[in-house]
Structure 1
Amino acid sequence: MAFALLTLLSAVVGVTLSYPAAFQDLGGNGNNRTSIRFLAFGDWGGLPSAPYVTTVQTATAQEMSVVAERMGADFILALGDNFYFKGVESVDSPRFQETFESVYTSKYLRVPWYVVAGNHDHAGNVKAQIEYSQRKFPSYYYELNFHIPNTGKTLTIIMLDTVILCGHSDDFTDEKLRGPLRAVDANRQLVWLQERLAQSKADFLLVAGHYPVWSISEHGPTKCLLKKVRPLLLKHNVTAYLCGHDHNLQYLEESGVGYVVSGAGNFLDSDTSHLKRVPKDSLKFFTGQSSTKGGFVHAEVTNNKLFLTYFQSKGTSLFRTVLSQRQFV
């Protein structure tokens, strides 16, 4: 394969991760720099039949390459729904070539891809994505740690499987979460999350999953995450939560936590039907217009700031915001 899809999921749900998680190697790119850069996008999984891609997906991939070349990208966070509409069935699925390798061909995108599974992935065989990655980790959820080059500061990203945590969503029927398939697995992940957040001393702490905590669009806020995850984000002074699921770009901010919705990798949806279900004045940016031709987020983490820039695929930035490093009492 052209380059490894570092799914970093797992074939075994019930195994606990070792502590502390190892720090990721940025390679030679960190020698003369003082920041980490990455791209974040979700819902990029093409189509299950010819031509196996959408125009939004190809346009987004092209602009991701342009931005990665100009602004830098050490890795990519892929936020779920990696293969529409029912994931893949086996490690030999042609979809890996048709929807992934044949699209993200730029040398600037040949960086580690850290991926979580979305509801459409769970409709198929998530283990096949794990096997394809050729990289085994002991859980569908995992932790990434990075040294920010030449600063003495650290970045931690906690990757969640929100489908295991909250249940499956069938976008073709009632779209409602059905609750976790196995309560024991959901609880185990939640306990793990609590422990990792409580122990983290990272200067920047991000959490990423597929389902949104807050969203004004079609799926709206996820009740399960509002109950189980949002209190932990607030308690442990998490910098930001990143997700997909709704097919647009949003930025919300509540109680000092940034909420990034970046689900415009394959389709676009301008729906704002849940605008009144988010906290007042929390919405800072939204676009789901077809004229954007898709989009994604570029992040840069420096010694004391997290810069988030939203790009549309037709070649311009749409919104930028800045978050500060965590403060410990």
Structure 2
Amino acid sequence: MEMAISVKIAVMFLFILQGVRASPRPAAKMDKIRFLALGDWGGLPFSPYTTPVEKSTAQQMGVVAETMGIDFILSLGDNFYYSGVNDITDNRFQETFEEIFSAKSLKDVPWYVIAGNHDHSGNVTAQIKYSKVSKRWNFPHYYYDLNFTIAGSNTTITILMLDTVLLCGNSDDFLGMEPEAPKDYHMANTQLEWVEEKLKASRSDFLIVAGHYPVWSIAEHGPTKCLVQKLYPLLAQYRVSAYFCGHDHNLQFIQDDNGIGYVLSGAGNFMEYSIKHKTHVPKDWLKFFYADISSLGGFVYVEIIPEQMIITYIEARGKSLYQTTIPRRSGR
């Protein structure tokens, strides 16, 4: 299903959130799960510590949260440009995060966070520790899982939050260098083993994996060779529903022959047009690409009901750009 919809449509139902290992917050009662996915939103390392794109994107996220309802936000890495944070008292937490995503509708919404390559240029441990400072910042470990159940049904959702920098190595955007190898092979292999164990054991109706680097992308960075080699076979083998990522600064939806949806949402701070790697992705896989450099950014809104996951791409001026659906997994 592909169609444009208005983001002003009010959502009338509620959902229940259960078993989220990253947060001890009490469950709310709802009959669907709704979240935003946003990557590469990390402002600037100098005053005013933000960009017009980040501010506009944050404002529209607040509008969507108020009109459609959201229950959490997936933060897909590159949370603080260009070199992460120094320590837990770094003013970037306030000036790039707390003071920008400040709409009333976002105040009590939990963020589930992973690190990107720019975060790894700083102190990721400090970002993890910030979970004890901010009531909405949830970053319990470099990689972790989230588990949800929709009330009134037995529909379950699992999201595996990965650290693709530890898995594949860091990259240098300014030199155009892509990750070549992990810094610590033991740590990389331990995470990969954890991923496979979780995927193999999962009986969830919707199984999502999220990381910073894309598996597939047609833009500046393109496919991440390490993930294509190591992660992609696991996504296919265990019939993952979708893979969410950032890294390239635009919006993309790619769907492979197995039906796995690749949701790239990297337009939270910059918007860059590039189709440099278009020939590196099978041409019939690309379903949607948006990188209007005059745009003020964008993000993804996801609603999961028992039958399907509905994915909507929204630009910062409020226009719905593209919508698609992924069905509930069968034959588990």
Structure 1 length normalisation: TM-score?
A: 0.90
Q: Tell whether the 8 Å contact from 1:48 to 1:85 is kept in structure 2 after alignment.
A: yes
Say whether residues 1:51 and 2:48 are aligned partners. Answer: yes
Distance 2:66 2:27 in 1: 16
Distance 2:331 2:228 in 1: 24
Alignment of 1:290-309 (within 5 A): 290-309=293-312
Q: Once the 2 structures are TM-superposed, how far is the Cα of residue 28 of structure 1 from its aligned partner?
A: 6.1
**Could you give the per-residue CA deviations for residues 143-177 of structure 1, whole angstroms, max 9, x where no partner exists?**
00001122221110000000000000011113221
Taking only the aligned residue pairs, the percentage that are identical comes to: 54
SS of equivalent to 2:294: helix
**Could you give the per-residue CA deviations for residues 286-324 of structure 1, whole angstroms, max 9, x where no partner exists?**
011122210000000001100000000011100000000
Q: 1:95 to 1:137 in 2, by over 3 A?
A: closer
Count of equivalent residues = 308
Q: Tell whether the 8 Å contact from 2:244 to 2:262 is kept in structure 1 after alignment.
A: yes
Q: RMSD of the alignment, in Å?
A: 1.7
Equivalent residue number for residue 134 of structure 1: 132
**Could you give the per-residue CA deviations for residues 253-283 of structure 1, whole angstroms, max 9, x where no partner exists?**
0021000000000000111111110013000
Say whether residues 1:72 and 2:78 are aligned partners. Answer: no
Q: Once the 2 structures are TM-superposed, how far is the Cα of residue 109 of structure 1 from its aligned partner?
A: 1.5
Q: Tell whether the 8 Å contact from 2:84 to 2:121 is kept in structure 1 after alignment.
A: yes
**Structure 1: gaps of 5 or more residues:** 1-19
Equivalent residue number for residue 114 of structure 1: 112
SS of equivalent to 1:225: helix
Q: Tell whether the 8 Å contact from 2:217 to 2:277 is kept in structure 1 after alignment.
A: yes
Equivalent residue number for residue 7 of structure 1: none
Correspondence for 1:235 among 234, 237, 240: 237
Alignment of 1:15-164 (within 5 A): 22=21, 27=26, 29-30=28-29, 33-110=30-107, 111-134=109-132, 139-164=141-166
Q: Tell whether the 8 Å contact from 2:113 to 2:139 is kept in structure 1 after alignment.
A: no
Q: Tell whether the 8 Å contact from 2:298 to 2:316 is kept in structure 1 after alignment.
A: yes
User: What letter corresponds to residue 236 of structure 1 in structure 2?
Assistant: Y
**Stretches of 4+ moved more than 3 A in 1?**
20-29, 135-139
Deviating more after overlay: 131-140 vs 227-236: 131-140
Distance 1:59 1:138 in 2: 28
Q: Once the 2 structures are TM-superposed, how far is the Cα of residue 27 of structure 1 from its aligned partner?
A: 4.6
Q: Tell whether the 8 Å contact from 2:128 to 2:141 is kept in structure 1 after alignment.
A: no
Equivalent residue number for residue 322 of structure 1: 325
Distance 1:138 1:67 in 2: 27
Deviating more after overlay: 118-127 vs 176-185: 176-185
**Could you give the per-residue CA deviations for residues 202-251 of structure 1, whole angstroms, max 9, x where no partner exists?**
00000000000000000000000001111111111100000000000000
Equivalent residue number for residue 16 of structure 1: none
Q: Tell whether the 8 Å contact from 2:131 to 2:139 is kept in structure 1 after alignment.
A: no
Distance 1:28 1:65 in 2: 22
SS of equivalent to 1:119: coil
Deviating more after overlay: 142-151 vs 153-162: 142-151
Q: Tell whether the 8 Å contact from 2:127 to 2:139 is kept in structure 1 after alignment.
A: no
Alignment of 1:6-17 (within 5 A): none
Deviating more after overlay: 156-165 vs 286-295: 286-295
**Could you give the per-residue CA deviations for residues 168-214 of structure 1, whole angstroms, max 9, x where no partner exists?**
00111132213100000000000000000000010000000000000
Equivalent residue number for residue 277 of structure 2: 274
Q: Tell whether the 8 Å contact from 2:22 to 2:144 is kept in structure 1 after alignment.
A: no
User: What letter corresponds to residue 322 of structure 2 in structure 1?
Assistant: F
Distance 1:221 1:292 in 2: 24
Equivalent residue number for residue 17 of structure 1: none
Distance 1:221 1:71 in 2: 33
Q: Once the 2 structures are TM-superposed, how far is the Cα of residue 24 of structure 1 from its aligned partner?
A: 6.5
Correspondence for 1:262 among 243, 262, 265: 265
User: What letter corresponds to residue 249 of structure 1 in structure 2?
Assistant: L
Q: Once the 2 structures are TM-superposed, how far is the Cα of residue 92 of structure 1 from its aligned partner?
A: 0.7
**Structure 2: gaps of 5 or more residues:** 1-18
